[in-house]
Amino acid sequence: MKKIILSLSILVGLMAVSCERADLPQEQNANNDNSLMRRQRQSSMFNYIQSTRIDNGVNCENNILIFPSWNHYWETVDRLDKMVERDCDVFDSNLPNNISEDRYNTLADAAGFDEDNVLRRFEEDLAFCSLRSKIESLERVWLSRQGDRGWDANADPDNHFIQDQAERALLSSNGEVIVNDGTRGYVYYKFLNDKGNRIEVINNDLKAISQVSQGKIPTDNPNVIVVTPGTTRASYGCKTMVYEDSYEFSGLYAIKRNSRVQHPHWFSPSKIISKTRGYKKINGVWRPRRLLIAVGINGQSSNTSGTAYVNCNQERTLHLFKEKRRRVVSVKTTNPLFSLQYFGIRDNKLYSYHRLYNITVNKDFYDM
């Protein structure tokens, strides 16, 4: 239950006005109190992260995280991904080879093992209710209502535009975060989609943050900035943003295929993501299940390399593959943060691979 008080220098930084907004009246800045940033809880896992509470309609001790920079934000995503993978590998290393699905799940339940344990510890350490935990709860209810076919990808809570589990653990249940952007001080962000559409609130305007968080956009407030990026760049025969969420069934088993090529915006790099989630029908109800599932980014077969195109012209050879006994496995490749590089996809050059038992799909990204 460690709480800290921000230093005077940071509090001054929180009141900094962006270069674009330098002409705001001083009395308006003075009216924005600092209670949002005054009392925080510090992470024991990453000492640069704090949690705090805003009025966003979410009833928990802390409902938003604070980062000192976007570099720290993405570094945390990478570190959490690695910590999750290491935690899972350690558990697997203590089990017999060729163990059955049922035996694996029995031992995992008995040991209290879950592939999201690291992320849960991170959230609990900050007394934080995350987007990840919200989606997990909503998905459980949604799955319980599904039949054996015809699942609506648009209604599935797990098909959120934030696909990385670690990143979901950093965002509020409303898709929000506070980050120091280096010029305007600490800025509140609410993300709307993977195209970079978002709402920003500067100058620690608590009233505006509460309004935006709960769906009201005070467009007459100069502290509220609605960002709508332009259309993505592309050239003939090259796609720079594609996605697909689809389900495959075989008896009591099912998988979901999530495939993404994401165009960058200024604080989020371009990515190619492929994810396989496994399900099993148990006592008449579909549930996420630890199954031996595979995922890949490859060529026309899973054991060949595929080609992505940086900025739609420079070839980048890719062959990523992962097979684990998990509820979900994923692979991804990312361009450098703050670079001008973006991924392009050409016909029959790069495929998204997914497998569970006798279910196998290898689909061209370009056809999504």
Q: Can you say whether residue 96 is alpha, beta or left, with left for phi > 0 and alpha for psi between -120 and 50 degrees?
A: beta
H or E segment at 343? strand 343-344
Q: The whole model's pTM is what?
A: 0.86
Q: Give me 178's structure tokens.
A: 């506070």
The rounded distance, in Å, linking the Cα atoms of 11 and 7 is 6
| Rounded Cα distance, 318 and 353, in Å | 12
Q: Rg (Cα) of the chain, in Å, rounded? A: 22
Q: What is the pLDDT of residue 227?
A: 93
Q: Is 356 helix (H, G, I), strand (E, B) or coil?
A: strand
137-148 burial, b if ≥16 CB within 10 A, otherwise e? Answer: eebeebbeebee
Q: Which residues make Cβ contacts (< 8 Å) with residue 327, sequence separation at least 6?
A: 115, 277, 278, 288, 289, 290, 291
pLDDT of residue 231: 61
Q: What does the alpha-carbon distance between residue 294 and residue 291 come to, in Å, rounded to a whole number?
A: 9
Task: Enumerate residues 6+ apart whose C-beta is below 8 A from 288.
Answer: 139, 143, 277, 278, 279, 327, 328
Containing 359, the helix (H) or strand (E) segment is strand 359-364
Q: What is the pLDDT of residue 187?
A: 97
pLDDT of residue 32: 40
Beta-ladder partners of 333: 272
Task: Name the maximum alpha-carbon separation found in the chain.
Answer: 69
Give pLDDT, residue 229: 83
- Could you read off the pLDDT of 153-196 as tens digits, one per residue? 999 999 999 999 999 999 999 999 999 999 999 999 999 998 88
Give the H/E segment covering residue 143: helix 131-144
Pick from 341, 346, 352: nearest CA to 366: 346
Of 333, 270, 324, nearest to 297 (Cα)?
333
Q: How far apart are CA 192 and CA 213, in angstroms?
A: 11
pLDDT score at 179: 96
pLDDT at 194: 85
Tokens representing 125? 């350490």
Query: What pLDDT score was predicted for residue 235?
Result: 72
Question: What does the pLDDT read at residue 232?
Answer: 60
Predicted local confidence at residue 37, as pLDDT: 55
Residue whose tokens read 């309004």: 211
What is the model's pLDDT at position 265? 77
pLDDT tens for the chain, residues 1 to 368: 433 333 333 333 333 333 333 333 333 333 344 455 556 899 999 999 999 999 888 889 999 999 999 999 999 999 999 999 999 999 999 999 889 999 999 999 999 999 999 999 999 999 999 999 999 999 999 999 999 999 999 999 999 999 999 999 999 999 999 999 999 999 999 999 988 899 999 999 999 999 999 999 998 999 999 999 866 666 779 999 999 999 999 999 999 999 999 988 768 889 999 999 999 999 999 999 999 999 999 999 999 999 999 999 999 999 999 999 999 999 999 998 888 899 999 999 999 999 999 999 999 999 99
